[in-house]
Amino acid sequence: MVNIEDYIPLVGQSVIDDLRLLGERLKGKVIQHINSTPMGGGVAEILNRMVPLLKDLGVDTKWDVIKGGESFFDVTKKFHNVLHGRSGEVTKNDFDIFLETSEENIKNLDTYGDIVFIHDPQPIALVKKRSNNKWLWRCHIDVSNPNEKVWDFLLDFIIKYDSAVFSAPSFSRKLPIRQFLIPPSIDPLSDKNKELPQEMIDSVLRKNNIKKDKPIITQISRFDRLKDPVGVVEAYKQVKRYINCQLILAGGTAEDDPEGFKVLSEVKESANNDPDIHILLLPHDDIAVNALQRASDVVVQKSLKEGFGLTVAEALWKAKPVVASNVGGIPLQIKHKYSGLLCHSVEGASFAIKQLLTSPEYAKKLGENGREHIRNNFLITRHLRDYMLLFLSLYHAEDIVYL
């Protein structure tokens, strides 16, 4: 059971009092979140915690998931990649498949919310159903350099919404509707982030045949090319020439991500049976992710593109020194040389990892700064406040609202 009062020791009483006040103002409104997967990936991760907390604050909140077959999720994955700026051909057939499944969902999914809160492109077309309720489109993707064909296609839907929400200023686009900037967050009390006893961390390591006899470098991510797991293996190999260390690459695959198994086999090939590379498939095990992050000496997130990068916030909250690419929402979380190290290449990543492994005091300081930065900016309590202000603002369309 989630209880908002449990957050008082972490963020203070006044933050929780403010949330209660905002919750009261939203009494009588139904907020309906809709996305494309109940688990796997950052959006589901956030909704799993956000929905019960909003309910605890007295806000009537529901969460529905659209349905789609393999071909639909192949197309939406392609959309996701090219919106992130990756090359790829999107055909008329792809758009037809997208529209066909969208029509099915339009027919079968009841959009009963006073506020319908649509996450990402997959359910975007549901807005065709809008009546006199309010509609929000929440874009979790970095669309600063999107494939124009796909963006234009989505734009026809986006303009039907009341407002759009982006994670970082650089992601927003010129739009004829109001835009809000709201970065995501992590929940410090979830299984993924709560404190763990050392025995539990050790038992997760034992279960995965990992010994603590050499420093542990870890990247937790879906097996997705944009997370560059092969680049992480290369960086590790460069570090290994100087420092005897081990690498954990852990990730499951999300239900709406059909590419995972292919990428996993590429990673295995590049690992070439090195016994110090542990490739772990984690079928939705938050305690295991938590334990692996806590057991790490350095956490890496070498993404080529990133929405926000929740894994970075998760590691920083655990006061871990983090090496991560300077992409997407990562620089919001890491101020270079203050709350972690930013990198731009395999060489840059390996240089930074070496530096952290050989300077434990420096690494510790970065981790501590990182934890405070997350406490002040990226915990779910801040996110709840921003979302509730956003909901209220929909009923005050003429006012200018600063979040």
Is 162 or 314 the residue whose CB approaches ligand UDP more closely?
314
Provide the minimum distance between the beta carbon of 366 and ligand UDP in the complex, in angstroms, as a whole number.
Answer: 19
d(CA 243, CA 234): 14
Task: State the minimum distance, in angstroms, from the CB of residue 44 to ligand UDP.
Answer: 8
Complex with ligand UDP: residue 99 or 282, whichever CB lies closer: 282
DSSP 322: E
Nearest CB to ligand UDP, comparing residues 66 and 394: 66
- Least distance in Å: CB of 252 to ligand UDP? 4
Q: For the residues of 73-86, what is the DSSP string, one character each?
A: HHHHHHHHHHHTT-
Site residues (CB under 6 A) for ligand UDP? 41-42, 45, 192, 220-222, 250-252, 282, 289, 307-311, 314
Between residues 150 and 289, which has the closer beta carbon with respect to ligand UDP? 289
**Shortest distance (Å) from residue 142 CB to ligand UDP:** 10
Nearer to ligand UDP (CB atom), residue 192 or residue 302: 192
In whole angstroms, how close is the CB of 312 to ligand UDP at the nearest point? 7
Nearer to ligand UDP, 22 or 349 (CB): 349
Q: How many CA atoms lie within 13 A of 335 on its CB side?
A: 11
DSSP 8-class letter at 29: P
Long-range contacts at 68-75 (CB < 8 A, ≥ 24 apart):
68/36, 68/101, 68/105, 68/122, 68/256, 69/101, 70/258, 71/97, 72/97, 72/98, 72/100, 72/101, 73/36, 73/122, 73/255, 73/256, 73/257, 73/258, 74/258
Token reading at 397: 């369309």
CA-closest candidate to residue 248, choices 224, 225, 267, 226: 267
- Residue 16: CB minimum distance to ligand UDP, A: 24
Cβ-count burial 44-57 (b if 16+ within 10 Å, e if not): bbbbbbbbbbbbbb
**Which among 293, 296, 299, 282 is positioned nearest to 235, based on CA atoms?**
299
Cβ-based nearer residue to ligand UDP, 219 or 381: 219
How far, in Å, CA of 145 to CA of 80, rounded? 12
Kindly write down the DSSP assignment for every residue of 228-270, as one continuous string: -HHHHHHHHHHHHTTS--EEEEE----TT-TTHHHHHHHHHHH
The residue whose Cβ lies closest to ligand UDP is 42
Min dist. Cβ of residue 174 to ligand UDP (A): 25
Q: Where are the alpha helices (DSSP H) in 109-228?
A: 148-158, 198-207
Comparison of 315 and 394: residue with beta carbon closer to ligand UDP: 315
Q: How far is the CB of 221 from ligand UDP (least distance, A)?
A: 6
